[in-house]
Amino acid sequence: MRNSNRRNQRKSLSPLKILLFAIFIVSFSFAILTQTQAILAKNENKKISNKLTALKEENKKSSEDMKKLENDIEKLKSEVKENMKNKKVAYLTFDDGPSRKNTRRILKTLKDHDVKATFFVNGHPGLEELYKEIVNDGHALANHTYSHDYSKVYSSVNNFKADVKKLDKYLEEVTGQAPNYLLRYPGGSNNTISYKYGGKGIMKDIVKEMSKEYEFFDWNVDSTDASAMTQKKDKIVQSVLSESKSTNQAVILMHDLDPKTTTADALPEIIKGLKAMGFEFDKMTKDSYAPHFTKVPK
């Protein structure tokens, strides 16, 4: 009887043992899985941490390389600037063009002597081909206001800026070339005619505003071709060569209007004379030497 009861107990306990065993297995497996996931997560975090460390090192190296590059560029600029002090450079500049009579003559002379120049032009509808020829020959096409109308451009800062922007837009439409932000004020940055239209402080106000975007260029060599409707050719040559003796950076003022035929006549002698004096020639950029009659107000 007792043996029978024991057998029955063993039979009745078997399902419970199986259940407990199953629970143990599941718990053990879960613990193993959790531990495995923790190990994997730790490994993954370590990989991410290593990658972040590598990126930081790479960024640090890139920053150091960039800083070195910037320092090298600044050093090179300083060297170029220092060299330019002793180098004689002539900037031939022509205001008020283009013109039907003289622009092509000027361009031919420049091409014959392998010289680049800067044309501070106005807006002359109907002469679109001449603007294109200036650009296609590799010269700088710079802004001298669209209208060159003193009463208009010097009446206010806004009117001056609008006239300049009008020429920028016109030249870009004609040539396809974006503005280079080179500017020359009609009459120069210290002209007093502007007082009549905008008051005594108008030039300082205009210069302050326009210098936020444009580099302006006055001149330190006057050809005197504006002193007469048609100046004598020999006078133009003599003035340019004489005044250029006192500078290594000659910014030469000439004009490209129909009456200025003697300016075109004088150009070959001017170029030959400057070359004999040791000058090289260049066109203007925003980094070029820029004589200022009026200091940019702060």
Active site residues: 95, 255
Q: Are 90 and 274 in contact (CB under 8 A)?
A: yes
Question: How far, in Å, CA of 179 to CA of 165, rounded?
Answer: 9
Residue 157's H or E segment, with its range, is helix 157-175
SS3 content of the chain, % helix, strand, coil (to 5): 55, 10, 35
Q: Which residue's structure tokens are 């260029």?
A: 217
Tokens of 198: 């905008």
Among candidates 268, 264, 267, 252, which has minimal Cα distance to 90?
252
Question: How far, in Å, CA of 267 to CA of 265, rounded?
Answer: 6
